Every structure is written in structure tokens, then in C-alpha cells.
Amino acid sequence: MSTSNVEKLNFFRWFKHKWSNEPLFSTAIALIIMIILQTLVLGFDYDSFGSWFQSWTNNWINILRNNASIGIIALGMTFVIMTGGIDLAVGSTLVATGAFSMILLDTGTKGILGMLGMTGMPAFIATIVLVLLFGYLLGALIGVTITKGNVPPFIVTLGAMLIFRSVTQHFMQGYNTTLPSEFLQIASFNIGNYMIMPIIYWAVIAYILYFVSKRTTFGRQIIAVGSNERAAKLSGVNVDKIKLRVYALMGLLVSIAAIIQVSRVGSMDFSNAGRGMEMDAIAAAVVGGTSMSGGRGFILGTVYGMLIIAVMNNLLNLFGVPPFLREAFKGFIVIGAVLLQRKGNKGNLSPSS
């Protein structure tokens, strides 16, 4: 963006143009405003710039780290929504894959890998591979039911949401796991005194998926499928395969999030973990400009969306807004974001003659 020249000429016109033509512009502005607000609220009441910066950075690292898992899931959700679908089962897939990692790696009596005599590094690698595979398969299972069974995604994932969690809870009751402390390093490994591994995972995955969405056949076919399924099919796009892969990818991303969660906390609350996660992921995607009817979505937008929601939560916290009211703000943000995007896009409609 070579903005500086244009900016000097006519900032207002440039702004208006960007506002109505660049889908992510309004989202980015909203994010910047949030960040400025948050910086102001955090205050400048410090001894030195160094200690202010320290505190500012810590706050940011906290925000990013706490939202890394959900941020990763929101990225997958963006793809799912772009195909015109939805995945309500992410929270349940999270506990299912999380539980699976525990069953594999438990240092107590029940760890499968332990029983097979596998410990140390090979066990970690095996666990990660198997958990990712498990997540991928759960997602693929959802995808197959949707495509081959021709059942609406909402129904399939609603069912899967109930099944995955209930089965997990049943088999995991009274199961106390102790995970090897090395496994916890996956998330809590410190780089220069900062626990930023989850943030790095998020950033790397976001970058990869951004590339996938913009530059690969798979990424562009997702848009084609979501925008006009029939036309996509008649253009040689294997619609079922694309959908299947999108749900499988969703499962894979959830399992990554599960590994991060488990290794951060060392355990998982199977009845509560991941509850409402699907809605948060959808909210992030929608705030980031993804259209619920499919065909339009932005990976970068979802990152912005996630950050907007996260920073807002942080702000509400700093302001001391009562916890019960906080969800309401999230609701306003979601609706407000979509209203803003509507308004912005109106200017795009050129009259057809």
C-alpha cells in the first residue's frame, strides 16, 4: 500500500475509497482503535519507559496466548463458513482429541504408549501424530456424513457435538491423568522469559492458511464452492472433496488447539472445556468479514476479528465491567461489525444498465 502520497493529496477521499472498497479496512481500523484504547486504559503511570513497555508487552502476550487455541480454531471455522457450512462440534472435538492425548501419554497405569513401552521423545512424537490424525479423522467423519449423506452441516455437527462430548465424558470419568512434564513444554516452553509458544503456533498456522486461501487451488476452490456450488461443480471442482477436506482440516486444527490446551494446563475439564467455543470462533470469523452464506471470507480478517474480541475482553476486564455483562459486549461487537461491513459495501454496487 503506497498510501503516503495519496494520503497527503486527499486523506478523506482515500479513506472513503478504502472504507468502501477494501473489505478488511473497517475491521483493521476497529482493531487499531481498540489497541489505542487499551493502551490508554493501561495508563502511563510507570517509573520509566522500560517498565511501561514491559507491562504493555506482558499484557499483550497474555491476550495473545489466552486466545491462541480459539484463534487457531477460528481460522478453520473461516474455511468451513466460506464453503457455506458451519461446524458446531469444535468444542467437543477439542475435548475428544484432548482426552485422546491423555490416554496415549498418561504416566500412570493407563497410558497406552507407556504400556507399549514407549517413553520420552518417541512417545511425544507418536502422541502428536496420533492426536492430529484422530482430529483429522473426526473432522473427516463429519465431512463424509455431510457430503455423502447429504445432511446439512448444522445438523451433522450439532449431532457430533453431543456425541463427541458425551462419549468422551463417559470414558474419561474418574480418569486422573498425570502427563510427563516434558509434554507440557509444547506450550509452556519459554523463549527469553516469555511463554509465547502458543502465539507462535497461531501465527505460523495463520500464515500458512492465509497462503492456502490466497494462492492454492484448494483455497480458491473453497470460495468457488461457497459462492456457487453448482457452477463450481460444473467447472470441474470436486465439491464433495473440498468440503470433506475443509471439515477434516477443521478437525486437525482443533486437535492442535487441544494439544496446546492440554500441555498448557496439564489437564482438561471434559464437561466444560471448549463449551461455547464454536460461537466464539464463528464470532471471530464474522467480525473479520466472513459471510455466513459462504463465498466470502478472510483469514487475516479472522485474526483481526479474534484480536478485536480479545482486546475488548481485556478492556472490559481493565474497566472492571461485571463478568455477566461482558458477553453482551461481544454480542454488540459481532452485530456492529456486520452492520459496518454492510454500510461499507453499499458503495460497491454499481448500477447495471
Partner 1 sequence: MNHINKAFGRNEVLRDVSFSIKGGEICALLGENGAGKSTLMNILGGVLKQDSGSIVINYHEVNFQSPADSQKQGIAFIHQELNLINDLPIYENMFLGRELKTKSGALDLEKMQKETARMFQKMKLELNPTTMVHDLDASYKQIVEICKAMMANASIIIMDEPTTSLTEQEIERVFTMMRTMKEHEVGIIFISHKLNEVMEICDRFVVLRDGNLVTDGNISDVSTHDLARYMVGYDVRTESLRREKKLGEEVLRVEGLTSEPFFKDIDFSIHAGEIVGFTGLLGDGRSELFQTIFGAEGIPEGKLCLNGDKVTIRSTTQAIEKGIAYLPRNRKENAIIKDMNIIENASIVTWPIFANRGIIYAEKHKEVFESHRRTLRIKMGELTDSINSLSGGNQQKVVLAKWLAANPQLLILDNPTQGVDVGAKEDIYDIILKLADEKIAIVVLSSEAHEIIRVCDRALVMYHGVIQGELSGQDMTEHQIMTLATGGKLLEEEEGHFNEHIEC
215 forms part of the interface with partner 1 (CB under 8 A): yes
Which CB, 205 or 223, lies closer to partner 1? 223
* Shortest distance (Å) from residue 241 CB to partner 1: 8
In single-letter form, the type of residue at position 347 comes to G
Q: Give the range of 117-125, 139-147, 150-158, 226-234 binding partner 1 by CB under 8 A.
A: 226-234
Which CB, 19 or 218, lies closer to partner 1? 218
4 forms part of the interface with partner 1 (CB under 8 A): no
Residues listed for the chain: 353
* Shortest distance (Å) from residue 267 CB to partner 1: 38
The alpha carbon of 94 is separated from its chain's Cα centroid by a whole number of angstroms, namely 12
Q: Please give the angle made by the CA atoms of 255, 275 and 88, to the nearest 5 degrees.
A: 70
| CA–CA dist 96, 164 (Å, integer) | 6
* Shortest distance (Å) from residue 115 CB to partner 1: 39
* Shortest distance (Å) from residue 274 CB to partner 1: 31
Site string for partner 1, 251-290 (x = CB under 8 A): ----------------------------------------
198 forms part of the interface with partner 1 (CB under 8 A): no
213 forms part of the interface with partner 1 (CB under 8 A): no
Residue 143 dihedral angles phi and psi, to the nearest 5° = -60, -40
| CA–CA dist 244, 114 (Å, integer) | 34
Residues 6+ apart with CB under 8 A from 211: 219
* Shortest distance (Å) from residue 89 CB to partner 1: 26
Closest CA to 135 of 169, 90, 170, 104: 90
* Shortest distance (Å) from residue 220 CB to partner 1: 6
226 forms part of the interface with partner 1 (CB under 8 A): yes
Residues 6+ apart with CB under 8 A from 226: 81, 82, 83, 84, 293, 294, 295, 296, 297
Q: Which of 10, 57, 190, 216 binds partner 1 (CB under 8 A)?
A: 216
Q: Give the range of 30-38, 156-164, 191-199, 222-230 binding partner 1 by CB under 8 A.
A: 222-230
* DSSP letter string, 157-209: HHHHHHHHHHHHHHHHTT------HHHHHHHH--BTTB--HHHHHHHHHHHHH
Radius of gyration of the chain (CA): 22
Which CB, 110 or 233, lies closer to partner 1? 233
* Shortest distance (Å) from residue 282 CB to partner 1: 19
Coil, helix or strand for 175? coil
Which CB, 27 or 221, lies closer to partner 1? 221
Q: Which residues between 285 and 314 bind partner 1 (CB under 8 A)?
A: 295-296
Q: Which of 218, 275, 321, 326 binds partner 1 (CB under 8 A)?
A: 218
* Shortest distance (Å) from residue 211 CB to partner 1: 8
Q: Give the range of 53-61, 94-102, 217-225, 339-347 binding partner 1 by CB under 8 A.
A: 217-225
236 forms part of the interface with partner 1 (CB under 8 A): yes
Size of the site for partner 1 (CB under 8 A): 26
| CA–CA dist 263, 266 (Å, integer) | 5
257, 177 Cβ separation under 8 angstroms? no
237 forms part of the interface with partner 1 (CB under 8 A): yes
**Beta-bridge partners for 143:** none
Closest CA to 80 of 341, 207, 254, 216: 254
Nine-digit cell string for 272: 466444560
Residues interacting with partner 1, by CB under 8 A? 215-218, 220-221, 223-224, 226-228, 230-238, 295-296, 350-353
